[in-house]
Amino acid sequence: MNIKIHRGTHQIGGCVTEYEYDGWRLFVDYGEELPGGPKSGDLRIERLTHGDISKSALLITHYHGDHIGSITKLPVELPIYIGKVGREIQLVLSDHLKSVDGIHQEMVERLQHANTFEAGKEFSFGPFSMMPITVDHSAFDAYAFKIEAAGVSAFHTGDFRTHGFRSKKLPEVIQKYVGKVDYVVCEGTNVARPNATNKTERELQQQFEEHFKASKGNVVYLSSTNIDRLFSLYHAALRAKRVFLVDAYQKKIMDIVTQKDSLWGKSELYQYGEYEPKVLKYDKGEFWVADEFKAFLDKLGYVLIARATPRFDHLIERIPGEKLKYLSMWDGYVDGKSEAYNERLANSLGKRFVHIHTSGHSDMNSMREVFRLLQPKALIPIHTDAPEQFAKLFSDEWSVIRLNDGDSFSAL
Ligand SMILES: [Zn+2]
Ligand SMILES: [Zn+2]
């Protein structure tokens, strides 16, 4: 089996990996490069973007833009495999965004024809067998894969972490469904960011709950597809006895998770409690705010899940009383010096806000524990801007194969 990293050896965004055996090719992820990182632009990859694709397929680890965002540029005949629930969430997101950005209409069409897989159920393509396992990440229904051909195996981690609500299951899942492998193709987002994982998702939830109890008016900005954070906020609001307010789009996303999640179905995190999220009503293109609604919010207090749009800004202006705003995503988006600066978000958020966030990616000590379970011959870092540091960190226990974009490695 040959492993080729087309992109991602020196940047976090836009990873594309190829597993090849006997002329068959399994590609993993085809996303966008991130703002602020290096740019290689549109890729030209033989037997993926052009040429004979009759023995090629694409696997998607999860719905984040840096993993799925560019699939509309690939030939329509290319078979695409994606997790069942992740596909549904991306369909709702793209349907919501298609009027703003035409690419999302293409995304909808593409995903309607995609093949789906489920955790713990092995499937195959040509000589490859793939075992998807669920990993904890800031995207729901995110996967790592064991990929095997002709007796050689690799574990492709995708994006994952060990400090989320569901992370504790990872060692057990690896032991049951993966076992030992020959190689690990591993994400290394946080190699150079040791502080990104300071807090666990559970600690964050406690922090939110305390704030919600102390403050009557709460407005939180977070990614609409960061499912675990969203449900965490919902339960924190419930415990603080505040009304949990979302728009119809956000509610639809939450409903998918409560109705369709079989694997984690028993988890209380993804179940509605005493009352369901309250859905904002529309009135002539704006959110409806009548006196009775204001009185209702004033009586109980609220947690509003907002996005940086004029409609939400206008709603917030019309709700009377003090409001505490929260940013529950990476603060680079509102840092004027960052290349990922989002002026819209910075304006909606204003100057005074509380930043409560933790990374969707693993810290390095936890990664070491995962490697010890997998016992690979070698590690191949991708999805990282610090491959040298990754190599330095892990070469005491494993050999680390350092590749450049476009390099191929013969995995025996
Ligand atoms: Zn991700
Ligand atoms: Zn990523």
Q: Output the CA 168–ligand 2 centroid distance in Å.
A: 21
Distance 278 CA to ligand 1 centre (A): 28
Ligand 1 centre distance from Cα of residue 12 (Å):
10
Ligand 2 centroid to residue 361 C-alpha, Å: 9
How far, in Å, from the CA of 232 to the mean position of ligand 1?
Answer: 18
In tens, the pLDDT along 130-168 reads 999 999 999 999 999 999 999 999 999 999 999 999 999
Q: Is the pLDDT of residue 373 over 80?
A: yes
Q: Which ligand is nearest to the CA of 359?
A: 1
Cα(64) to ligand 1 centroid in Å equals 5
Give pLDDT tens digits for 165-215: 999 999 999 999 999 999 999 999 999 998 898 899 999 999 999 999 999
Q: Is the pLDDT of residue 223 over 90?
A: yes
Taking the centre of ligand 1 as the mean of its atom positions, its distance from the CA of residue 184, in whole angstroms, is 18
Distance 291 CA to ligand 2 centre (A): 44
CA of 35 to the centre of ligand 1 (A): 14
Structure tokens at 22: 């006997």
CA dihedral 376, 379, 383, 385 (to 10 degrees): 150
Residue position matching structure tokens 């996005």: 307
Distance from the CA of 319 to the center of ligand 2, in angstroms?
A: 37
- SS3 labels along 101-170: CCHHHHHHHHHHCCEEECCCCCEEECCEEEEEEEECCCCCCEEEEEEEECCEEEEECCCCCCCCCCHHHH
Residue 398 CA to ligand 1 center (angstroms) comes to 25
Centre of ligand 1 to C-alpha 197, Å, is: 15
Strand partners, 129: 124, 148
For residue 259, the Cα-to-chain-centroid distance in whole angstroms is 20
pLDDT value of residue 231: 97
Report residue 292's pLDDT band, with 50, 70 and 90 as the boundaries: very high
Nearest 10 degrees: Cα torsion 286, 227, 223, 359: 160
Nearest-ligand number for the alpha carbon of 160? 1
Q: Which ligand is nearest to the CA of 383?
A: 2
Give me ligand 2 centre to Cα 141, in Å. 14
Residue 33 and residue 407 in contact, taking contact as beta carbons nearer than 8 Å: no
Ligand nearest to the CA of 142: 1
Distance 4 CA to ligand 1 centre (A): 20
Question: Which pLDDT belongs to residue 261?
Answer: 58
The answer to whether residues 10 and 385 touch, using CB atoms and an 8 Å cutoff, is yes
Ligand located closest to 67 CA: 2
User: Quick count: other Cβ atoms within 10 Å of Cβ 313?
Assistant: 15
pLDDT digits (tens, 9 = 90+) for 79-126: 999 999 999 999 999 999 998 899 999 999 999 999 999 999 999 999
Measured in Å, residue 113 CA sits from the centre of ligand 1 at 23
Please state, as a whole number, how many other Cβ atoms lie within 10 Å of the Cβ of residue 74. 19
DSSP character at residue 276: P
Distance 46 CA to ligand 2 centre (A): 23
Q: What is the pLDDT of residues 253-285, one digit of tens each?
A: 999 999 875 655 568 899 999 999 999 999 999
What single letter denotes the amino acid at residue 101? Answer: D
- Report the separation in Å between the CA atom of 317 and the middle of ligand 1, taken as the mean of its atom positions: 33
> Cα-atom radius of gyration of the chain, to the nearest Å?
22
Tell me, in angstroms, the distance from the centre of ligand 2 to residue 64's CA.
6
Distance 340 CA to ligand 2 centre (A): 15
What span, in angstroms and rounded, lies between the C-alpha atoms of 384 and 370?
A: 18
pTM: 0.96
Mean pLDDT of 368-376: 98
Measure 217 CA to ligand 2 centroid, in angstroms. Answer: 33
Give backbone dihedrals phi and psi of 149, rounded to 5 degrees, phi first. Answer: -150, 135
